[in-house]
Amino acid sequence: MQPALRGSWLRLHRWVALALGWLLVLAGFLGALLTLARPLDQWSHPALFRDPVAPAVIASPSLDTVRLHLDRSFGDRASYTLRPPRAPGETLWAYVSGPWDGVVYFDAEGRELGRRGETEGAYNLLFELHSSLLLGDTGKAVLTTAAVTYLFLLATGLVLWWPRRWPPSFRIQWRAGALRSLLDLHNTAGALLGLLILVSVASGAYMAWPPLRTLVTTAAGGTPVAPPKLQAPAARSGSSLDALVRQAQARFPSGRVGYVQVPASATQPVRVRLKLPDDPHPNGLTSVWLDPAHGRVLRTVRWSELDPGNRLVSFAYPLHTGVLGGPLHEVLVGVTGLALATLGGSGLLLWWKRRRVPRARRTGAAAGQPNR
């Protein structure tokens, strides 16, 4: 590459990174922390996550009992997403959205064990920071922009790194001074782990920003699957919630209940999400919508029948969280997050140190790299 052209690429790479690189450092570091924070959170709060009534079996309380308790606590302006126990000794989690946002925990007899706001506790705060910067949909859009920026930085970084001779050298010369060591670390991390980091960044952005799903579906010539609407407003307490779930399971007998979504709006149906054996999404994306007033099944959609944009979530979510490949994949996700933080942090530090180094020394450090 000609020196003038290389200089232009380098300046473009540098200033784009300085503008949004700190977001990538933050997202990567928080993502790595989250892989450890969830098990630590459950271990340190056994009163919320361990069921004292049924510690050795999977035992779910009556959903009607849980809903009645939530209605008394939060009124009819709140919507609920109920997560029944999935393993022996687990509690039921009720995600509440409305006048109060957070999670309420129940034992097998439907008694409340405790509650936490959506940013209460270290794990919840880390999750909200990682997913939305505590800014809701605005924060998700900002993080999506940062993800697109990473794609640009990866492309320009690879162009700048591309060696004249192969195989390239990935050695980091720790004794050659701070500037040279940082440069080697930045180049090596970007070249070796850049594409792996891209999978994590892209899958996170895809889940965070729903318009991307619509874009994929439209590009594939499909139409997004929309939930059915009720013909007339219905009281959500009209039918037994437990009976509605049984109806949903009857449509897919092999499915495990992932979530039961009870909307606050009287014009929206109850949605039961099921995890089928062939669905890679750990919470399941097969959906059954039911009329809460009359108990009728309004629509069923298997996860494999979703539009392309939403069907892709079945793979993006487990890829991003690490549940697709078990514990080893979770460790890899944590390492990827640390690599992203290291890549961004070394780049920012490299820029800061280069500002204090005479131009002649900077030129010599770059020229001394092998295979460039």
Same domain, 29 and 135: yes
Higher pLDDT, 176 or 200: 200
Specify if 48 maps to a domain. Answer: no
C-beta of residue 144 within 8 angstroms of C-beta of residue 138: no
- Pairwise CA distance, residues 244 & 156, whole Å: 53
Amino acid 76 reads: D
- Pairwise CA distance, residues 116 & 102, whole Å: 6
Same domain, 91 and 135: no
Same domain, 24 and 151: yes
Same domain, 209 and 344: yes
Specify if 123 maps to a domain. Answer: no
Q: What is the pLDDT of residue 239?
A: 79
Structural domains counted in the chain: 2
Specify if 120 maps to a domain. Answer: no
Q: 164-189, pLDDT tens digit by residue?
A: 777 777 777 777 777 788 888 888 88
pTM of the predicted structure, to 2 decimals:
0.86
Same domain, 235 and 361: no
* 255 pLDDT above the threshold of 80: yes
Q: What is the pLDDT of residue 371?
A: 41
Specify if 266 maps to a domain. Answer: yes
Residue 50: CA atoms inside 13 Å, Cβ hemisphere, count? 11
| pLDDT band at residue 101 under the 50/70/90 scheme | very high
Neighbours of 282 (CB within 10 A): 14
**Of all helices (H) and strands (E), which one includes residue 308?**
helix 308-311
Same domain, 204 and 286: no
Q: What is the pLDDT of residue 372?
A: 39
Residue 133's closest CA among 121, 123, 147, 143?
143
Q: 207-241, pLDDT tens digit by residue?
A: 888 889 999 999 999 999 888 988 777 666 667 99
Same domain, 68 and 32: no
Largest alpha-carbon pair distance within the chain? 79
Same domain, 68 and 202: no
For the chain, what percent of residues have pLDDT higher than 70?
A: 94
Higher pLDDT, 2 or 122: 122
CB under 8 Å, gap of 24 or more: what pairs does 17-23 form? Answer: 17/153, 17/344, 17/347, 17/348, 17/351, 18/348, 18/351, 19/149, 20/145, 20/146, 20/149, 21/153, 21/344, 21/347, 21/348, 22/344, 22/348, 23/142, 23/143, 23/146
Of 30-44, 119-133, 317-331, the poorest mean pLDDT is in 317-331
The residue range of the domain holding 165 is 3-38+131-222+322-367
* 369 pLDDT above the threshold of 70: no
Going across the sheet that includes 297-301, the strands are 112-117, 102-106, 92-97, 79-83, 256-262, 270-275, 286-290, 297-301
C-beta of residue 266 within 8 angstroms of C-beta of residue 88: no
Same domain, 270 and 143: no
| pLDDT band at residue 69 under the 50/70/90 scheme | very high
C-beta of residue 252 within 8 angstroms of C-beta of residue 286: yes
Specify if 113 maps to a domain. Answer: no
**Mean pLDDT for all residues in the chain:** 88
Specify if 251 maps to a domain. Answer: yes
Q: What is the pLDDT of residue 63?
A: 97
Same domain, 143 and 261: no
Same domain, 136 and 148: yes
Specify if 243 maps to a domain. Answer: yes
- Pairwise CA distance, residues 199 & 333, whole Å: 10
Same domain, 27 and 148: yes
Task: Give the helix ranges, DSSP H, for 109-228.
Answer: 122-132, 136-161, 178-208, 211-219
